[in-house]
């Protein structure tokens, strides 16, 4: 039986480790000033971190079904410490971009912890447990921007990565004392394990739906957060990384909905929750385009955006984890690799939209991506109905 204290430690782990991937977003202007490069040239730092995260998940998440999870999690944290130190010591923008990729590659622990918690939880409480762990993860994503923005503005961006490395050292020892053992559930070769990913994609339409929807939602989410620091810097007040990061605190209101979204998925329809989340995404980008030229308008949109992000993600994960308990790591691999590829593409597209069309282009891109997520859900809804009638 999974103890509640362990669930909260898992949530803390997810939040602290995933934060490493997002410290760079409010610091992009600081990077540009340090290395004397343009906004376009510094954009790949955020994008390559997302791609590194996706690549790391593709490599490591399937292995969580083959190896003992506690040991694997702690080894990855050690690797993340090395990557964060390398980032703090970056001598050039090109080295920083490479270090960003390695940070993303090594910081996949949150995606190991979430299915681990789902595996240990009682099936009747799985949605709630996933919601708590995902709430910690999203809180880490959002507060990482706030903390990085403040530290970058007052101590320099390098200090943020030294602090992050120190936090990982503390987490390494905490998990050694508190995390339960996670025995493997797959017996076979790594090659057969990777082949089984294709089989899951082929045989699980729910997994295909949740993965595509999550990729489109996260692309819109990343496009917003990657360009926000440039947008507020263009205000007459020329706000810096601290103000851009402060929106993370506002977004925590959205993260607080995670446990409730999990409970709703347990009691009602997680698919309906995902559809409502996509609608919330569309409305948030309409708000950004309409009144997002002031701090209050941005704040309103951020709350709605993060509510949509968290409720959709938790509900998607709940649907996936109900498919096959013996393949949680591999289900999570397909879902999150697809999702973070979407996030990386969203960072690139958002940066390009900003360079060419500024804020209106970013908002229009966000709306298009979220409408595509709704189209995907409607398509699969019709397919499910057709199959049900045929049976």
Q: Give per-residue pLDDT as tens, 133-188.
A: 877 887 887 788 888 988 988 899 999 999 999 999 999 999 999 888 877 777 77
In the prediction, which pLDDT does 260 show? Answer: 62
Burial of 237 (0-12, 13-18, 19+ CB in 10 A): exposed
Whether residue 186 lies inside any domain: the answer is no
Identify which of 137, 159, 131, 165 has the alpha carbon closest to the alpha carbon of residue 147: 159
Q: What is the domain-level CATH number for residue 260?
A: 1.20.1250.20
In the prediction, which pLDDT does 13 show? Answer: 94
Instruction: Supply the range of the domain harboring residue 287.
Output: 4-180+192-390
On whether the CB atoms of residues 103 and 49 are closer than 8 A, the answer is: yes
In the prediction, which pLDDT does 2 show? Answer: 67
Radius of gyration of the chain (CA): 20
Whether residue 187 lies inside any domain: the answer is no
* 223-280 residue pLDDT tens: 998 899 889 888 887 787 677 777 777 766 666 665 565 555 556 677 888 998 999 9
What backbone torsions phi and psi does residue 70 show, to the nearest 5 degrees?
-60, -45
Identify which of 107, 103, 60 has the alpha carbon closest to the alpha carbon of residue 85: 103
Q: Give the predicted TM-score (pTM) of the model.
A: 0.75
What backbone torsions phi and psi does residue 155 show, to the nearest 5 degrees?
-120, -10
Whether residue 364 lies inside any domain: the answer is yes
Q: What is the Cα–Cα distance from 49 to 216, expressed in whole angstroms?
A: 18
Q: How many domains does the chain have?
A: 1
Instruction: Count other C-beta atoms under 10 Å from residue 263's C-beta.
Output: 15
Q: What is the pLDDT along the chain (391 residues), one digit of tens a residue?
A: 667 788 899 999 999 999 999 899 888 888 989 999 887 788 889 889 988 988 898 888 888 778 888 899 999 999 999 999 999 999 999 999 999 999 999 999 988 888 788 777 777 777 778 778 877 887 887 788 888 988 988 899 999 999 999 999 999 999 999 888 877 777 778 788 888 888 999 999 999 999 999 999 999 999 998 899 889 888 887 787 677 777 777 766 666 665 565 555 556 677 888 998 999 999 999 999 999 998 899 999 988 998 888 888 888 988 887 888 777 778 888 998 899 889 889 988 998 999 999 999 999 999 999 999 999 999 988 777 565 444 4
Identify which of 342, 306, 16 has the alpha carbon closest to the alpha carbon of residue 174: 16
On whether the CB atoms of residues 26 and 145 are closer than 8 A, the answer is: yes
Q: What is the Cα–Cα distance from 302 to 253, expressed in whole angstroms?
A: 9
In the prediction, which pLDDT does 388 show? Answer: 47
In the prediction, which pLDDT does 38 show? Answer: 83
On whether the CB atoms of residues 17 and 175 are closer than 8 A, the answer is: no
Instruction: Count other C-beta atoms under 10 Å from residue 271's C-beta.
Output: 20
């Amino acid at each position: 039986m999974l103890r509640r204290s362990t669930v909260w430690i898992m949530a803390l782990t997810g939040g602290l480790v995933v934060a490493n991937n997002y410290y760079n977003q409010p610091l992009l202007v600081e990077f540009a000033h340090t290395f004397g490069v343009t906004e376009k040239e510094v954009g790949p730092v955020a994008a390559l971190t997302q791609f590194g995260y996706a690549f790391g998940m593709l490599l490591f998440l399937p292995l969580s079904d083959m190896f003992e999870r506690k040991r694997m999690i702690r080894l990855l944290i050690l690797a993340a410490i090395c990557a964060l130190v390398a980032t703090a010591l970056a001598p050039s923008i090109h080295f920083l971009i490479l270090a960003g990729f390695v940070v993303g590659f090594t910081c996949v622990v949150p995606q190991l912890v979430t299915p681990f918690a789902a595996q240990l939880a009682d099936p009747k409480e799985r949605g709630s447990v996933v919601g708590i762990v995902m709430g910690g993860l999203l809180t880490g994503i959002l507060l990482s921007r706030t903390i990085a923005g403040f530290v970058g503005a007052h101590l320099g961006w390098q200090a943020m990565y030294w602090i992050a490395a120190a936090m990982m050292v503390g987490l390494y020892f905490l998990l050694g004392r508190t995390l339960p053992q996670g025995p493997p559930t797959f017996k076979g070769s790594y090659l057969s394990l990777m082949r089984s990913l294709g089989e899951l994609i082929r045989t699980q339409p729910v997994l295909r739906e949740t993965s595509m929807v999550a990729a489109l939602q996260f692309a819109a989410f990343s496009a917003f957060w990657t360009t926000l620091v440039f947008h507020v810097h263009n205000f007459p007040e020329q706000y810096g990384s601290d103000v851009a990061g402060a929106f993370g605190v506002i977004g925590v209101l959205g993260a607080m909905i995670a446990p409730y979204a999990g409970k709703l998925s347990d009691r009602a329809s997680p698919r309906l929750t995902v559809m409502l989340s996509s609608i919330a995404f569309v409305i948030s980008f309409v708000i950004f385009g309409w009144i997002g030229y002031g701090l209050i308008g941005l704040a309103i949109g951020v709350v709605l955006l993060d509510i949509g992000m968290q409720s959709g993600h938790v509900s998607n994960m709940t649907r996936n984890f109900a498919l096959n308990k013996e393949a949680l790591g591999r289900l999570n691999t397909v879902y999150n690799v697809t999702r973070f590829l979407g996030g990386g593409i969203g960072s690139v597209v958002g940066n390009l939209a900003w360079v060419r069309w500024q804020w209106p282009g970013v908002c229009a891109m966000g709306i298009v991506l979220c409408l595509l997520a709704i189209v995907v859900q409607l398509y699969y809804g019709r397919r499910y109905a057709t199959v049900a009638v045929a049976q």
